[in-house]
Structure 1
Amino acid sequence: MAMSVVTTQPGTALLAPGVKTEMWTSGTCDCCEDMSTCCLGLWCPCCLRTQVSSGLGESHCLPLLDWISGGPYPPLIPPISLALRSTLRERYRIQGSIADDCCMVTCCSSCSWCQMARELKARRSPTHINITPTAPPGIVQVTLHPSQPTYTLQATPMAGLYPPMAT
């Protein structure tokens, strides 16, 4: 009798750990979507960079190393900007590559930092819960993030959890 080993259950899809499934929540040049971030990036880029770095759990002084790492001249490729952008992209499984990150931080550094700030702000926004009035009772639609699909859930009442209401 031949034995076969089931490696994947029917109906389940497994993603490899390195597969990137998300997209950036805003484009590189979408500064008008968040004018406060755009203004901060334009008028005080050091402040924006320290906020993004802190938002990623790194030292707020880390982005300042981009300016001192090249000696009297700024570096051709800002290493800290590249590392933080790659970290953010990997953490949130955003599609892209290190080459894309390198081009962005080298050619359009300010826009890149503004995009990273908008991404952190969007990822930290509260979960949106939409209850559709036309849906049958007990159906709840949940959107975890604006860039993700809406999930429809069937709510089941838990009997005996609450005392009966007086009429």
Structure 2
Amino acid sequence: MDSIGSKLEVPRYYPPNPIWGACVGCDNQYESRVSPGPAQFDFKHRMAVQQVITAQPTAKLLGTVHGHRDWSSGICGCFNDCGSCLMTCLCLPCMECRNASRLGEFCCLPYCCPGANIAMRARLRTLGGIQGSICKDACALVCCPMCAVCQMSRELDNMGL
């Protein structure tokens, strides 16, 4: 049995390699001179050459998910800016539309799209690098909408927008 086993040759299996291939016309192994890409055709040897992707692309964040600072004034800091406080109390829709246009949105957005104030507050936080969450934004706008809108106006003033 040893003599029979030693005489048998076990063919070696070579897995396909995207750089090496067999020529259809001459059955020779060769190194592809085709520049790597997702799928290309080697016209000299009449075969398709594919590059294998071994790593998935990853998402890259431009900055941190959470902001790096707090609001410049508290939600109850309305009396620090009496003009904004008075305008918000007398005409809340005017102040909301003013904030929307200062953020680069359609001025009537708060009244055309439900939840627009939450989206605008989240955008303001993102632009200013302010800590918080959408849940906190929603709570502020539901519990005290006038104070939250006035706070947004003060923050826009502090940011120079």
Distance 1:87 1:16, change over 3 A: closer
Which of 22, 35, 38 aligns to 2:85? It is: 38
Structure 2 counterpart of 1:57: 104
CA-to-aligned-CA distance 1:124-166 (integer Å, 9 cap, x gap)? 08xxxxxxxxxxxxxxxxxxxxxxxxxxxxxxxxxxxxxxxxx
Equivalent runs, 1:57-136 vs 2, <5 Å: 57-65=104-112, 69=114, 79-124=115-160
**Would you say the 8 A contact 2:66–2:130 is kept in 1?**
no
Structure 2 counterpart of 1:161: none
Aligned residues: 100
Structure 1 counterpart of 2:64: 17
Taking the aligned partners of 2:118 and 2:135, their CA distance within structure 1 comes to 10
Instruction: Tell me the CA shift for residue 55 of structure 1.
Output: 0.6
Taking the aligned partners of 1:102 and 1:50, their CA distance within structure 2 comes to 18
Taking the aligned partners of 1:98 and 1:49, their CA distance within structure 2 comes to 18
CA-to-aligned-CA distance 1:53-99 (integer Å, 9 cap, x gap)? 01100010101236xx5xxxxxxxxx111111111011111001111
Larger Rg: 2
Taking the aligned partners of 1:87 and 1:19, their CA distance within structure 2 comes to 13
Taking the aligned partners of 2:120 and 2:150, their CA distance within structure 1 comes to 13
Q: Name the amino acid aligned to 2:153.
A: A
Taking the aligned partners of 1:16 and 1:85, their CA distance within structure 2 comes to 19
RMSD across aligned positions (CA) = 1.7
Taking the aligned partners of 2:148 and 2:124, their CA distance within structure 1 comes to 12
Query: What TM-score do the two structures reach when normalised by structure 1?
Result: 0.56
Q: Percent identity?
A: 37
Query: What TM-score do the two structures reach when normalised by structure 2?
Result: 0.58
Instruction: Tell me the CA shift for residue 19 of structure 1.
Output: 3.6
Taking the aligned partners of 1:81 and 1:108, their CA distance within structure 2 comes to 12
Structure 1 counterpart of 2:13: none
Q: Secondary structure at the match of 1:39?
A: helix
CA-to-aligned-CA distance 1:1-52 (integer Å, 9 cap, x gap)? xxxxxxxxxxxxxx94324101101100111100000000000111111110
